[in-house]
Amino acid sequence: MDDRRFMKMALTLARKGTGVTSPNPMVGAVVVKNEKIEGKGFHRKAGAPHAEVEALRDAGPRARGATLFVTLEPCNHFGRTPPCTRAILDAGIRRVVTAMADPNPNVTGGGMDFLKKNGVETALGLLEDEARVLNEAYIKFVSTRRPFVIAKCAATLDGRIATRTGDARWVTGESSRRHVHRMRHAADAIMVGVGTIKRDDPRLTTRIPRKKGCHPIRVILDTRLSIPEQAKVLRHGTDSDTLLVIGEGYENSPEVMAKKRRIEKPGVKIITAPLKGDRIDLDRLMDRLGALDITHLLIEGGSRTLGTAFSSGIVDKIAFFFAPKILAGDDGYPVCRGSGPERIEESLRVYRIRHRRFGDDVMIEGYLKPESRAARRQNR
């Protein structure tokens, strides 16, 4: 049996859950018997049947004696749904092939061990790297209770995200912008500083042609609650919230209290976070966002927010879009603002790099090395 082919099918099915399963993982499953696919399924949303159950239901009695390919270890505990391991035994599955173990330390696991003890042949680790990338946000969240953070920017070849007047429309092309909307669809939340709101007045919603995209929670860093009351993010008309983060100590000022009464409403919430100097402490904020079950955070700017995010050591991954344009001046907005290191050897290191083309633009995607992030936090 071509195990790799069927696991790739399961991974493709799992991706159908992009943007809709959080805080649960994306999981796909395929039931195969005599090289024939008898059932398929994927996890559609939190609280819905797991992928294994969907695939077994699709296969019906044909599942007896078959092999089940699943991208994540079947659960062996009662949560919102019964254990998948029991459903697998009841269906008469002969063999289970799993891409990766469940990394959740707070769950009574042992799904594969349970199946093996009950006479089911098991195999673990097929296409594990692909499975881990698919659920990288879930893996970090269940391990740390903090969101997986991607820093995104769109820049000219000389590293500017806007001209000296703040004009940034449009640095990159339409193909790049479509991909950014797919990134928003996949994220639980998108974060910008209030300066971006004042300059660009974005909606921060998801717009995908011929598809209903999921709108992320909009997290606006606004230390003194200076957001314009007519900002589009306060009247976006979607089913997700706008979360305004103000600095601790400012919430009791008369001006902030009066403005809070005017703008806070269903869909617009205000929370406080500790300050680091005169700015929101992003490291501490990650704990608060994690407590809200935000597993996947996309940071889109501006310069000061990106600079603070990198210096705080909270960024896990980057997606930098570069357009074939040159401003040829030193007065535009840089990708990051704020103090950087004194020596090149103190730079944040990026690894597992991938390049992708979107029209004439190039996206550089990669992960920040944990040791350089830790060193940056210590040197703050």
List beta partners, residue 33: 36
Q: Calculate the alpha carbon distances from 154 to 27, 158, 221, 322 in Å.
A: 31, 11, 20, 6
Report the C-alpha gap between 176 and 361 in whole angstroms: 7
Q: Regarding beta strands 217-221 and 36-42, do their DSSP bridges make them parallel or antiparallel, or are they unpaired?
A: unpaired
Indicate the SS3 state at residue 62: helix
Report the C-alpha gap between 189 and 303 in whole angstroms: 19
Which strand (E) or helix (H) includes residue 161?
strand 160-162
Q: Which two tokens stand for residue 347?
A: 């730079």
Which strand (E) or helix (H) includes residue 328?
none
For 331, what's the count of Cα atoms within 13 Å in the CB-facing half-sphere? 2
> Which residues lie below 8 Å from residue 83, measured CB to CB, with a gap of 6+?
74, 75, 76, 77, 111
> Which residues lie below 8 Å from residue 337, measured CB to CB, with a gap of 6+?
303, 304, 306, 307
Helices in 135-239 by DSSP H: which ranges?
Answer: 136-144, 174-186, 194-200
Q: Which two tokens stand for residue 378?
A: 């210590």
List beta partners, residue 67: 32, 95
> Which residues lie below 8 Å from residue 380, measured CB to CB, with a gap of 6+?
276, 311, 312, 313
Report the C-alpha gap between 285 and 267 in whole angstroms: 20
Q: Which two tokens stand for residue 278?
A: 């005169």
- Cβ distance 191 to 300 under 8 Å? yes
Residue among 343, 352, 344, 357 nearest 370 (CA): 352
User: Which residues participate in catalysis according to the annotation?
Assistant: 52
